[in-house]
């Protein structure tokens, strides 16, 4: 996702009030995540904290979802199961990446038998079911070449539809999450064939009582490269808007924009709602990670998807309450500072709370988070 591999409001007054409240809520744990210490201690602290938070979430009427992505043994992403074990999405959805699309348009199952984490195994499937109401394994294609190879071939489309549908039926999972990106480089034919693929997959899944979730780029106005209404009309069940990585829209010579400015989040959400008015079919995704970038911004040198366990090792990182408060950006709620000519920016729990307040004020009922692993922050309320 544009969140992964580094290509990747109410009113202004209401927004400020929401951020102030979130900052107050976050004051007890100023970094917004488990405190410094060994990884195991971090995860035990998280598990002890979040059951109460999960109960509060249920009271808000918001369904929470979150993605998990593969890693090698020892990678920080491999702590994800220890994080969702606190049942933070017990009434929501877990979305592990189980499949990737290769340059020949073939869908490949990513398996724990290869030594990776957060990938398919019988034990992983059982664990997902034990800690969520819905499970939507992701099929991922991150480049235009991979997307083109799959969707432009009727044979590849048919094979993928059969493979994905058979798998979720056999494993008794809720459905499939499609994450095909590099949207801006697609041809008109690629977009047309992509929608054909989605329609075929939705039809096959629905025939088996399964659902289709589709990940989409954040937009604030109509554009040729993607259309929320057209994609929704293919029969998908949920459109998941990835409302993050606004830093890549920074003007030349400026400091990198925040990951998800609150005003921009409001614009993205309102635009999405104008195209997909049924709240049950619209998911807005929020970031839980950090970035670093040269200051001024160089879009070709942005490092994204930095997990909290790694962010803590950044030069100048601090959990001192006064320092955190001074670094909190009022436009996004994020923690931002510059050290040695490099900008650092991460989303802590207070920032997540502020972003969630924007969404709930607009009537959003489904919220996803990229991503779990590495002690990445979660909501406090």
Average pLDDT of the residues in 146-168: 98
The token duo for 7 is 């290509």
Give the model confidence (pLDDT) of 171-181 as tens digits.
999 999 999 99
Percent of the chain with pLDDT over 90: 83
In angstroms, the CA 28 to CA 356 distance is 19
pLDDT at 5 over 90: no
Query: Whole-model pTM?
Result: 0.88
Percent of the chain with pLDDT over 70: 84
Average pLDDT, the chain: 89
pLDDT at 9 over 60: no
CB 268 within 8 A of CB 227: no
Give the model confidence (pLDDT) of 234-279 as tens digits.
999 999 999 999 999 999 999 999 999 999 999 999 999 999 999 9
In angstroms, the CA 236 to CA 179 distance is 13
Neighbours of 144 (CB within 10 A): 17
Angle between helices 188-207 and 154-170 (to 10 degrees): 30
Q: What is the 3-state secondary structure (H, E, C) of 211-277?
A: EEEEEEECCCCCECCECHHHHHCCCCCEEEEECCCHHHHCCCCCCCCCCCCHHHHHHHHHHHHHHCC
pLDDT at 333 over 60: yes
Q: Phi/psi class of residue 97: alpha, beta or left (left: φ > 0; alpha: ψ in -120 to 50)?
A: beta
pLDDT at 54 over 70: no
- Can you give the pLDDT at residue 58? 55
CB 211 within 8 A of CB 148: no
Question: Model confidence at 51, in pLDDT bands (50, 70, 90)?
Answer: low
- Can you give the pLDDT at residue 59? 55
pLDDT at 14 over 80: no
Least confident of 12-16, 148-152, 264-268, 317-321: 12-16
Q: How many residues does the chain have?
A: 381
Least confident of 31-35, 130-134, 184-188: 31-35
CB 89 within 8 A of CB 81: no
Average pLDDT of the residues in 52-81: 83
Give the model confidence (pLDDT) of 341-372 as tens digits.
999 999 999 999 999 999 999 999 999 999 99
Question: Model confidence at 60, in pLDDT bands (50, 70, 90)?
Answer: low
Give the model confidence (pLDDT) of 82-114 as tens digits.
999 999 999 999 999 999 999 999 999 999 999
Burial annotation 213-229 (CB, 10 A radius, 16+ → b, else e): bbbbbbbeeeeeebbbe
Which phi and psi (to 5°) does residue 154 adopt? -65, -35
């Amino acid at each position: 996702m544009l969140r992964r591999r580094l290509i990747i409001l109410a009113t202004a007054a209401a927004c400020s009030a929401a951020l102030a409240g979130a900052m107050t809520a976050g004051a007890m744990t100023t970094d917004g995540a488990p405190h410094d210490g060994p990884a195991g201690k971090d995860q035990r602290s998280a598990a002890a904290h979040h059951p109460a938070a999960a109960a509060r979430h249920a009271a808000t009427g918001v369904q929470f979802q979150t993605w998990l992505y593969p890693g090698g043994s020892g990678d920080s992403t491999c702590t994800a199961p220890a994080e969702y074990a606190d049942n933070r999405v017990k009434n929501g959805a877990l979305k592990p990446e189980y499949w990737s699309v290769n340059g020949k348009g073939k869908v490949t199952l990513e398996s724990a038998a290869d030594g990776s984490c957060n990938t398919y195994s019988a034990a992983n499937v059982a664990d997902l079911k034990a800690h969520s109401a819905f499970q939507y394994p992701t099929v991922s294609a991150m480049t235009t070449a991979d997307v083109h190879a799959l969707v432009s071939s009727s044979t590849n489309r048919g094979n993928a539809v059969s493979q994905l549908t058979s798998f979720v039926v056999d494993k008794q999972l809720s459905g499939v999450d499609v994450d095909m990106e590099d949207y801006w480089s697609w041809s008109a034919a690629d977009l047309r064939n992509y929608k054909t693929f989605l329609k075929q997959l939705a039809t096959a899944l629905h025939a088996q009582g399964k659902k289709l979730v589709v990940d989409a780029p954040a937009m604030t106005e109509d554009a040729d490269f993607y259309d929320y209404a057209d994609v929704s009309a293919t029969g998908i069940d949920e459109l998941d808007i990835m409302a993050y990585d606004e830093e890549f829209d920074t003007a030349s010579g400026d400091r990198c924009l925040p990951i998800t400015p609150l005003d921009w989040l409001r614009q993205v959400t309102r635009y999405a709602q104008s195209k997909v008015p049924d709240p049950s079919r619209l998911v807005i995704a929020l970031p839980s990670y950090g970035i670093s970038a040269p200051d001024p911004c160089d879009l070709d040198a942005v490092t994204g998807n930095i997990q909290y366990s790694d962010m803590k090792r950044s030069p100048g990182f601090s959990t001192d309450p006064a320092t955190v408060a001074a670094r909190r950006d009022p436009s996004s709620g994020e923690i931002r500072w510059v050290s040695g000519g490099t900008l650092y920016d991460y989303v802590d729990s207070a920032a997540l709370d502020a972003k969630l307040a924007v969404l709930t004020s607009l009537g959003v009922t489904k919220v996803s988070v990229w991503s779990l692993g590495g002690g990445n922050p979660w909501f406090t309320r």
